[in-house]
Structure 1
Amino acid sequence: MKTILVSRAVAKPGWWIFGMVMLAAAWWGQPLVDSGHFENHFFGVFWYSMIALGLIFWGLPGEQFTDGTILERRTMLLGLLPLWRKSEPVSAFERVELTQEPNVFGKDSVWLSLIKSEDGETTRRFVFAYFPASQRGIAKAQQMAGDLSQISGLPFAQAASEV
């Protein structure tokens, strides 16, 4: 039996919270459409066009998948139906790496990537997942990096933190 590893946006609480916030914002904007003032209708069209744009991005989450031989990035309709796929062989990479990147606002990010380098220079990168750089996020990232390394057969290398 083959082991697979999947990183899904719909598995993260932020995806669900964003969807609920969009629904609440749509409900909150009803008075703009129901009003008798022309100005409110203008703002209502703007309001709902921004909500529609947000829902388009929300409704097309991404996921990464591997079975140890291929890496696949998919864009899914509501996390259920694949709309777009891009595949690459795992053999095109040489290691699994965790990289911490400082953010201007909020916590730093930890990126789980598969790397190909030549002469010490990274030439290809496939980002498999990202996590906030909290204790829990780093623990999850290290666990997934170990799983990805085991499934893919590539060595796991912890990169130095970038400053």
Structure 2
Amino acid sequence: MKQNLKTSLTHRGISKLSWWLFGAAMIAAAWWGQPLVDSVHFENHFFGVFWYSMIALGLMFWSLPSEQFTDGKLLERRTMLLGLLPLWRKSEPVSGFERVELTQEPNVFGKDSVWLSLITTEDGETKRRFVFAYFPASHRGIAKAQQMAGDLSQISGLPFAQAATEV
């Protein structure tokens, strides 16, 4: 029987294809907006300033992805500069939570969302929640969420409460 010997778990924003595609789209949008700046018409310069301010805002959010990490004793959420250099950290002890849980939330547009969280309840209601990861509620997304929930449960020593099964 093969044992999973993971001792830590990290969920990174930069490991998703969408993060890389958004960065490429921002570069393409910056290149596409060049005629606004190079124009001889004053009103085009105004639109160019607006265009590049929106691109700068998008790149600011893109360049600061977050990641979640646990070693079984500590949960940590970090904001990273380009996924490499930590700029901000928030830590909580795993002992402050009761269980690992997958919850499925319906979306108005597109697939539902599956959230992997560590939960503390009081009188049947959620008191504290630490969201570790998010997945789309597709067959593949739910499978990834269940795999990560099992790994998180094993590393943290907390029971895995429920699994999202709807698609």
Q: What TM-score results when the alignment is normalised by the length of structure 2?
A: 0.94
Instruction: Give matches, 1:13-162, under 5 Å.
Output: 13-158=17-162
RMSD after superposition = 1.5
Partner Cα distance (2:164, 2:47) in 1: 48
SS of the residue 2:153 aligns to: helix
- Work out which of the residue numbers 8, 15, 23 in structure 2 matches 1:11: 15
**C-alpha deviations, 1:83-129, integer Å up to 9, x for none?**
00000000000000000000111111000000000110100000000
Partner Cα distance (1:161, 1:40) in 2: 52
Partner Cα distance (1:103, 1:161) in 2: 16
State the identity as a percent: 85
Q: Is the 8 A contact 2:114 2:164 kept in 1?
A: no
Q: Is the 8 A contact 2:103 2:163 kept in 1?
A: yes
5+ residue gaps, structure 1, are none
Q: What TM-score results when the alignment is normalised by the length of structure 1?
A: 0.96
AA partner of residue 14 (structure 2): V
Displacement after TM superposition at 1:158 (Å): 1.1
5+ residue gaps, structure 2, are none
Alpha carbons of 1:74 and 1:48: their partners in 2 closer, same or farther (altered >3 Å)? same
